[in-house]
Amino acid sequence: MSDLNWKEMLEKLEKGEVRAAQKVDGKWVANVEVKQAILAAFKAGENIEASSHHYPGFVDKHNIMPQTFTPERGVRMVPGGSSVRRGAYVSKGVIIMPPAYINIGAFVDEGTMVDSHALVGSCAQIGKNVHLSAGVQIGGVLEPIGLAPVVIEDGAFIGAGVVIVEGVQVLKGAVIAPGVVLSKSIPVYDCVNGRVLEQGEPIPENAIVVPGSRPVNDKLSWAKEMGLSLNCAMIIKYRDEKSESSLKLEDFLR
């Protein structure tokens, strides 16, 4: 890929004109062309001392240095060590509390809160009016190139210390309670509907997910004898009027 192509792609990503993933027939899929351009940018980059970009003492690729913000962008980037890398889109009305990091290819839509010590990984897709609480880790996916990234749809609430990786998708309005870990290898039990979500199946709309545990299976007989259990996630209810009142986002903060 030519320099011109990856430069144009990074500019389009920052403007929100293209995204690293899109919904096709109701399913989120990776935009391979975008990922190829990002990888080409890394290949073309040369390490430089970042003082000319207002980051003395740091070294990174010359062509993917952090973005700068002005009031005209409509983003509130609170002082204290946060960074948004080139090629990431941050919409108007987003609040970024320090220290937080938004990596290349990520998309953060309007009205979203990115709280302290939160990570939005490369190519992750975050919808409108999402709350990423303190310490949330949203994994990034650049490779394998065809793998869809983590997606958090509009209105989702992600509690403190939550870890979401391996392309897990959280649909509109879902609530992930503090401390939950979601990956493709961790089963999610829908206790409301009495079923286990299939591997790769998104967290349903408006689901409220809490951390849980499950007994080990017979293949781990010693662990079973010891009474050990494994991590899981559990859907214990779906949002109702009571949960809506406790999760209301305040407009005056934005």
Residue found under tokens 């204290």: 80
Cβ(136)–Cβ(119) under 8 Å?
yes
Domain 3-183 CATH (choose: 2.160.10.10, 3.30.420.40, 3.60.20.10, 3.30.40.230): 2.160.10.10
How confident is the prediction for the chain on average, in pLDDT?
93
Q: Convert the pLDDT of each residue in 245-254 to its tens digit.
A: 666 666 666 6
Q: Taking the domains of the chain in order of start, what are their residue ranges?
A: 3-183
| pLDDT at residue 246 in the model | 65
Average pLDDT over residues 181-207: 97
Phi then psi for residue 41, to 5 deg, are -65, -40
Give CA–CA dist 148/199, Å, rounded. Answer: 14
What is the phi/psi pair of residue 21, to 5°? Answer: -155, 155
Strand order in the sheet with 137-138: 83-84, 101-102, 119-120, 137-138, 163-164, 181-182
Residues 47-75 have pLDDT tens digits of: 999 887 778 889 999 999 999 999 999 99
> What is this structure's pTM?
0.93
